[in-house]
Amino acid sequence: MNANLTITDLSKRYGSTVALDGVNLTFQPAIHGLFGRNGAGKSTLLGVIANRLLPDGGAVELDGANVRENESAQSRIYLVNETLPFLLGARISTIFKREERYYGGFDWPFSARMLAAFGIEPGRAYGHLSLGQRMIVRLVAALCVPTDVLLLDEPVLGLDAVNRDLFYRFLLESYGERPRIIVISTHIIDEIAHIVERAAIIDRGRIIEAFDAESVTSRATVLTGESACVGSFVEDCGLQVISRETMGRLAAVIVRGPVEAADLPSGIAANALGLQDYVIRVTSGAVGPDMPDISDHQEAGAAGAVSSSKGE
Ligand SMILES: Nc1ncnc2c1ncn2[C@@H]1O[C@H](COP(=O)(O)OP(=O)(O)OP(=O)(O)O)[C@@H](O)[C@H]1O
């Protein structure tokens, strides 16, 4: 049976700080990316899903079972985050045996192959490893337990570029062997863009978008050309502006949705945005007072509105 993780109206406060504000999301087996700026609520969301943090309201259900009240649902969810989960004095192999007992299985051959590839001896004590190596051990454990849900909060923090690449390969191999719900929260979006199938963007505790990662190229378009020309085109077509930058006489305006090349006047180029750029644009608050949105633009007229974003 395909696992189904449903998050309904989840809220969480820390004192007066609202970390989660009515989050609704569903996850099915796929590699999901959870993206958002610092403090957006990613770690809190993953912590609540894994039952490490208590929500103030809402529910997390795995195949209909409320995760808070159901131990067997809890043992189907594995979280890797910044908290120290293992005893510093314990050997890696002892740690893996503990995970095997709690989670009901462990892929020993795969763990041996991964540790060898990362150059880590299984007999070493966890506390004698470097910070990056400790994270690797946690990731190896995560890929070897038979849970239906894997939550990876900043999984490559501290890993060098070679080991990050190795980890992404093992993650894909593991997912290929055993598809399950994998949620990765990271700021290094470019590096995982090629493996993510679904993306969710969280901003100030709210999910602002959730979409198939493949569709990102049709979600926004960068139009570049002479400011006045781009401004008129955007206005004439009634395109919704996400952000706008001017560089001398030129403007780069990011609009929602695809723009057909055939519709473009000469002098304007249209390019799709990749996942990382898209996340940056929709979470950066780039449409602000000094970067007028389309409604300001319509009032001021095409050329006026675009040139006003030069920072008057
Ligand atoms: N233990 C805590 N006590 C008080 N406030 C907290 C606590 N943990 C998180 N917060 C606040 O809750 C909000 C969400 O934090 P969270 O750690 O979930 O964000 P994040 O998206 O994971 O950020 P980052 O990308 O920086 O790790 C932030 O405003 C943060 O300051």
Looking up residue 187, the CATH number of its domain turns out to be 3.40.50.300
Instruction: Give how far the C-alpha of residue 95 lies from the chain's centroid of Cα atoms, to the nearest Å.
Output: 28
User: Quick check: is 15 in a domain?
Assistant: yes
Q: Whole-angstrom Cα distance, residue 150 to residue 169? A: 16
Q: Are residues 61 and 76 in the same domain?
A: yes
Ligand 1 atom closest to the Cα of residue 44 is: 18
Q: Are residues 263 and 189 in the same domain?
A: no
Q: Are residues 154 and 289 in the same domain?
A: no
User: Quick check: is 94 in a domain?
Assistant: no
Q: Are residues 230 and 282 in the same domain?
A: yes
- What percent of the chain stands above pLDDT 70? 91
Q: Which of 213, 236, 254 is the last residue of a domain?
A: 213
Q: Token match 């908290």: residue?
A: 83
Give the pLDDT confidence score for residue 260 in this predicted structure: 86
In which element (H, E) is residue 270 found? strand 269-272
Q: Are residues 251 and 267 in the same domain?
A: yes
| Structural domain of 14 | 5-86+143-213
Over the chain, what is the mean pLDDT? 89
Q: Whole-angstrom Cα distance, residue 160 to residue 59? A: 37
Q: How far is the CA of 153 from the centre of ligand 1 (A)?
A: 12
Q: Whole-angstrom Cα distance, residue 156 to residue 161? A: 9
User: Quick check: is 124 in a domain?
Assistant: no
Q: Are residues 189 and 281 in the same domain?
A: no
Instruction: Give how far the C-alpha of residue 87 lies from the chain's centroid of Cα atoms, to the nearest Å.
Output: 29
Q: Give me the half-sphere count of Cα atoms (radius 13 Å) on the Cβ side of residue 237.
A: 19
Q: Are residues 187 and 223 in the same domain?
A: no
User: Quick check: is 207 in a domain?
Assistant: yes
> Per-residue pLDDT tens for 7-53?
999 999 999 999 999 999 999 999 999 999 999 999 999 999 999 99
- Pocket test of ligand 1: the residue of 44, 153, 185 to mutate, having most ligand atoms within 8 Å of its CB, is 44
Q: Are residues 194 and 227 in the same domain?
A: no
Q: Model ipTM?
A: 0.98
List the beta strands (DSSP E) in 94-247. 149-153, 181-185, 198-203, 206-212, 220-226, 241-247
Q: Are residues 192 and 225 in the same domain?
A: no
Q: How confident is the model at residue 263 (pLDDT cuts 50, 70, 90)?
A: confident
Dihedral of alpha carbons 134, 169, 76, 41, sign: positive
Q: Which of 213, 242, 266 is the last residue of a domain?
A: 213
Judged against a pLDDT cut of 90, whether residue 2 lies above it is answered with: no
- Residues 6 or more apart in contact with residue 121 via CB below 8 angstroms: 92, 115
Nearest to 35 by CA among 196, 228, 220: 196
User: Quick check: is 251 in a domain?
Assistant: yes
Assess whether the C-beta atom of 41 lies below 6 angstroms from ligand 1: yes
Q: Are residues 72 and 189 in the same domain?
A: yes
User: Quick check: is 129 in a domain?
Assistant: no
Judged against a pLDDT cut of 80, whether residue 122 lies above it is answered with: yes
Residue 273 maps to which CATH number?
3.30.70
Domain count, the chain: 2
> Per-residue pLDDT tens for 130-175?
999 999 999 999 999 999 999 999 999 999 999 999 999 999 999 9
Q: How far is the CA of 41 from the centre of ligand 1 (A)?
A: 6
Q: Are residues 80 and 37 in the same domain?
A: yes
Q: How far is the CA of 309 from the centre of ligand 1 (A)?
A: 32
Q: Which of 183, 213, 243 is the last residue of a domain?
A: 213
Ligand 1 atom closest to the Cα of residue 45 is: 18
Give the pLDDT confidence score for residue 1 in this predicted structure: 63
**Region for 58 from its dihedrals, namely left if φ exceeds 0, alpha if ψ lies in -120 to 50, beta otherwise:** left
Q: Are residues 273 and 235 in the same domain?
A: yes
